[in-house]
Amino acid sequence: MLKTNFLGFFVKYIFKAKTRQGLLLMAMAGLMLSSFSLLVVQSALKGLQNNRLNRAKGVSGHYTITVDPGKTHQEQLISWLDNNSKRFTKEIEIEGLLRNQGHIVPVIIHGVSPDHYLPEFLPKKILKQEILFSSFLAHKLHAYLDDQIQFISPSHTDTFFGDLPRHKSVLIKKYINTNEPDIDEFHAWTHIRNTQSILRKKVFNRVRVYDPLSLQEIKELEKTNVTIKSWEELNSTLVYALAMENNVTLFLFMTTVILVVLTIASGLSIFYSRIKQDFASFWILGMSLDKIKKMSSINITIITISSLFIGNLLALGFLMLLKKYSPAVMPKMFVDRSLPILISFDSFVFSLIIPAVVTIIFSYLSNSRFFGKKEDFLQLIRSVGR
**pLDDT per residue as tens digits for the range 237-250:** 888 888 888 888 77
- Rg value, the chain, Cα: 33
Would you say 157 and 166 are in contact if contact means Cβ atoms under 8 Å apart? yes
Domain match, 32 and 143 both: no
Query: pTM of the predicted model, to two decimals?
Result: 0.73
Domain match, 37 and 162 both: no
What pLDDT, on a 0 to 100 scale, did the predictor assign at position 209?
Answer: 92
| Domain end position, chosen among 169, 200, 225 | 225
What pLDDT, on a 0 to 100 scale, did the predictor assign at position 161?
Answer: 63
Residue 62 forms part of a structural domain: no
What pLDDT, on a 0 to 100 scale, did the predictor assign at position 69?
Answer: 66
**DSSP readout, 220-256?**
HHHTTS-EEEEHHHHTHHHHHHHHHHHHHHHHHHHHH
Q: Which of 116, 276, 267 is nearest to 192 (CA)?
A: 116
What pLDDT, on a 0 to 100 scale, did the predictor assign at position 378?
Answer: 55
46-50, 138-142, 155-159, 300-304: which range is least confident on average? 300-304
Give me the sign of the Cα torsion angle 23, 28, 31, 35: negative
Helices (H), the chain: 2-15, 22-60, 73-83, 135-141, 181-184, 192-199, 215-222, 231-234, 236-274, 276-284, 289-325, 345-370, 374-384
Residue 265 forms part of a structural domain: yes
Give me the sign of the Cα torsion angle 378, 381, 385, 386: positive
| Domain end position, chosen among 177, 193, 225 | 225
What pLDDT, on a 0 to 100 scale, did the predictor assign at position 382?
Answer: 53
Residue 233 forms part of a structural domain: no
Domain match, 122 and 148 both: yes
Domain match, 307 and 253 both: yes
Domain match, 182 and 291 both: no
Write the pLDDT tens digit of every residue in 312-338: 888 888 888 887 776 665 555 555 556
Residue 49 CA to residue 87 CA, distance in Å, equals 23
Average pLDDT (32-60) is: 84
Q: 63 falls in which pLDDT band (50, 70, 90)?
A: very high
Write the pLDDT tens digit of every residue in 175-212: 988 888 888 888 999 998 888 888 888 888 889 999 99
- Mean pLDDT rounded to a whole number for the chain: 78
Domain match, 49 and 105 both: no
Q: Which of 107, 228, 218, 229 is nearest to 170 (CA)?
A: 107
Write the pLDDT tens digit of every residue in 103-152: 899 999 998 988 888 888 888 888 888 999 988 888 888 888 888 898 88
Judging by beta carbons within 10 Å of its beta carbon (0-12, 13-18, 19+), is residue 75 exposed, middle or buried?
exposed
Domain match, 125 and 245 both: no
12-26, 71-85, 187-201, 280-294: which range is least confident on average? 12-26
Compute the C-alpha angle 77/115/207, nearest 5°.
35
Distances (CA, A) of 126 to 130, 131, 146, 309: 7, 8, 15, 54
Residue 60 forms part of a structural domain: no
Whole domain around residue 316: which residue ranges? 2-55+238-384
53-67, 101-115, 283-297: which range is least confident on average? 283-297
Would you say 366 and 268 are in contact if contact means Cβ atoms under 8 Å apart? yes
Burial pattern 18-28, b for ≥16 Cβ within 10 A else e, equals eeebeebeebb
Residue 114 forms part of a structural domain: yes
| Domain end position, chosen among 193, 225, 257 | 225
Phi then psi dihedrals of residue 216, to 5 deg:
-65, -40
What pLDDT, on a 0 to 100 scale, did the predictor assign at position 361?
Answer: 76
Residue 232 forms part of a structural domain: no
Residue 252 CA to residue 254 CA, distance in Å, equals 5
Is 83 in a helix, a strand, or coil?
A: helix
Strands 164-175 and 130-133: parallel
Domain match, 366 and 244 both: yes
What pLDDT, on a 0 to 100 scale, did the predictor assign at position 270?
Answer: 64
Domain match, 205 and 253 both: no
Is it the case that residue 20 has pLDDT exceeding 70? no
Residue 300 forms part of a structural domain: yes
Total of domains in the chain: 2
Q: Which of 375, 384, 365, 153 is nearest to 268 (CA)?
A: 365
Residue 91 CA to residue 189 CA, distance in Å, equals 10
Would you say 35 and 315 are in contact if contact means Cβ atoms under 8 Å apart? yes
Average pLDDT (346-350) is: 77
